[in-house]
């Protein structure tokens, strides 16, 4: 099957589980507030996918932007408290609008608001997966967004492009589609006549020599082309193909037509939770390893024991992500620590058997278990 522009993209047409991310500028007016016609146009496209028996997860920006006009704000606020207030107003408006629009296609929507902790701590990660999986099983459409009403600067995903890539990995999606106000990845500024559209990206070599601007056009969103390329790298690293295009090209893009830019996936798919640990977390501290511990952790994929740690930096509690660094201070791995920071100094350099004899059996455990550790 072919189109006027070339061959249909099989990676798109054969995808059964699709994650679609839509940016604020594609859903709202320049002054804030939802643009109903834009929402309905997107939902009509996604509704046709669900009618074909395909599963859809929608990662939607727009909560803060939707809350601007009702609160009398003329532009996106810079301070966190006002952003959170706008999100608390806008999120209800956003999910209500989606619910009404998807109802026209006989579909129920479910709101899923995530923070970084929801996908880095083991129990929270499992809960996030179970919730999304059950919504899909019940033929509902999950609407995912960062929980902007409670997220602080220290525990943010950063932007919804990255969140979408991580959600795609979480649900083992077959395709990620990033929709914005730019129709594709270009070699330079799309308004420059000398710039050309990049139809496909197979590896980083295809990105060499490209000038990527960091700012969006609308002023109501946070993402730019840099964040979209990084999101594509994250998703393709998990084996998921990515299509980057404009929101008004969503229908042909999801039909497999060669619009926008297709990022080809890497063939090997890593373990999902460890993938999240590597890409979704920011370390709360650092554990300095001696050469033997580095060799054990990196070379032999062993757990980290107290005997191999020489120093501890940061303030963290059990379950937090920490970086494991070598003698030169370079991060070699990231893992979920089993001790609070205040507990560790007295354990360093001692064997687990010695600690168990002196302090009790509760201390005969790894500082970072190998199942909770990913090499960087």
Phi, psi for residue 108 in degrees, rounded to 5: -95, 145
Owning domain of residue 171: 2-275
pLDDT of 123 reads: 67
Choose one of 275, 303, 321: the last residue of a domain.
Answer: 275
Residue with tokens 């999101």: 231
pLDDT of 280 reads: 72
pLDDT of 140 reads: 97
Res. 139: pLDDT tops 50: yes
- pTM value is 0.78
Q: Which residue has the higher pLDDT, 178 or 358?
A: 178
Confidence label for 104 from pLDDT (cuts 50, 70 and 90)? very high
| Residues 84, 16 share a domain | yes
For 80-98, the pLDDT digits (tens) are 889 889 989 999 999 999 9
| Residues 259, 291 share a domain | no
Choose one of 256, 275, 294: the last residue of a domain.
Answer: 275
For 240-272, the pLDDT digits (tens) are 999 999 999 999 999 999 999 999 998 777 676
Q: In the chain, how many H helices and how many E strands?
A: 12, 17
Distance CA 92, CA 72 (A): 17
Taking the CB of residue 299, how many other CB atoms lie within 10 A of it?
Answer: 8
| Residues 177, 98 share a domain | yes
When pLDDT is averaged across residues 224-230 and rounded to a whole number, the result is 85
Cβ atoms of 176 and 165 within 8 Å: the answer is yes
| Residues 312, 244 share a domain | no
pLDDT of 209 reads: 66
| Residues 252, 144 share a domain | yes
Confidence label for 225 from pLDDT (cuts 50, 70 and 90)? confident
User: Residue 8, class by beta-carbon neighbours within 10 Å (0-12 exposed, 13-18 middle, 19+ buried)?
Assistant: middle
Q: Tell me the CA distances in angstroms from 287 to 215, 297, 308, 318, one per residue in order.
A: 36, 12, 10, 13
| Residues 308, 220 share a domain | no
Instruction: Return the CATH number at 116.
Output: 3.40.1160.10
Confidence label for 121 from pLDDT (cuts 50, 70 and 90)? low
pLDDT of 344 reads: 93
pLDDT of 157 reads: 53
Number of domains forming the structure of the chain: 2
| Residues 128, 105 share a domain | yes
| Residues 313, 254 share a domain | no
Distance CA 31, CA 68 (A): 8
What percent of the chain has pLDDT above 90?
Answer: 52
How is 274-333 classified by DSSP, letter by letter? Answer: HHHHHHH---SEEEEE-HHHHIIIIIS-PPB-GGGEEEEEE---TT-EEEEE-TTS-EEE
Choose one of 245, 275, 305: the last residue of a domain.
Answer: 275
């Amino acid at each position: 099957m072919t189109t006027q522009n070339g061959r249909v993209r099989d990676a798109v047409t054969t995808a059964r589980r699709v994650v679609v991310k839509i940016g604020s500028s594609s859903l709202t007016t320049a002054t804030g507030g939802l643009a109903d016609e834009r929402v309905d146009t997107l939902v009509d496209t996604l509704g046709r996918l669900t009618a074909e028996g395909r599963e859809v997860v929608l990662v939607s920006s727009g909560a803060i932007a939707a809350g601007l006009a009702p609160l009398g704000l003329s532009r996106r606020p810079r301070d966190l408290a006002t952003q959170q207030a706008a999100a608390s107003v806008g999120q209800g408006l956003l999910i209500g609008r989606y619910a009404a629009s998807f109802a026209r296609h006989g579909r129920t929507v479910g709101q899923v608001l995530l923070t970084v902790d929801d996908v880095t701590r083991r129990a929270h990660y499992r809960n996030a997966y179970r919730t999304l999986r059950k919504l899909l099983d019940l033929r509902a459409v999950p609407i995912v967004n960062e929980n902007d009403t409670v997220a602080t600067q220290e525990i943010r995903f950063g932007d919804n492009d990255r969140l979408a890539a991580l959600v795609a990995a979480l649900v083992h999606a077959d395709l990620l589609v990033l929709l914005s106000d730019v129709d594709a990845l270009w070699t330079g500024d799309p308004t420059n006549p000398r710039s050309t559209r990049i139809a496909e990206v197979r590896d980083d070599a295809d990105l060499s020599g490209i000038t990527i601007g960091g700012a969006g056009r609308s002023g109501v969103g946070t993402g730019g082309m840099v964040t979209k390329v990084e999101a594509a790298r994250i998703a393709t690293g998990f084996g998921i193909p990515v299509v980057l295009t404009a929101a008004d090209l969503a229908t042909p893009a999801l039909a497999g037509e060669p619009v926008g830019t297709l990022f080809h996936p890497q063939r090997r798919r890593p373990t999902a939770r460890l993938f999240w640990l590597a890409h979704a977390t920011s370390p709360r501290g650092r554990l300095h390893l001696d050469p033997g511990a580095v060799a054990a952790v990196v070379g032999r994929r062993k757990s980290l024991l107290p005997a191999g740690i020489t120093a501890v930096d940061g303030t963290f509690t059990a379950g937090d992500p920490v970086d494991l660094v070598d003698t030169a201070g370079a991060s070699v791995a990231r893992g979920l620590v089993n001790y609070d920071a205040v507990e560790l100094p007295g354990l360093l350099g001692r064997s687990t058997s010695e600690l168990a004899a002196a302090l009790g059996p509760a201390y005969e455990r790894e500082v970072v278990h190998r199942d909770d550790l990913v090499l960087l």
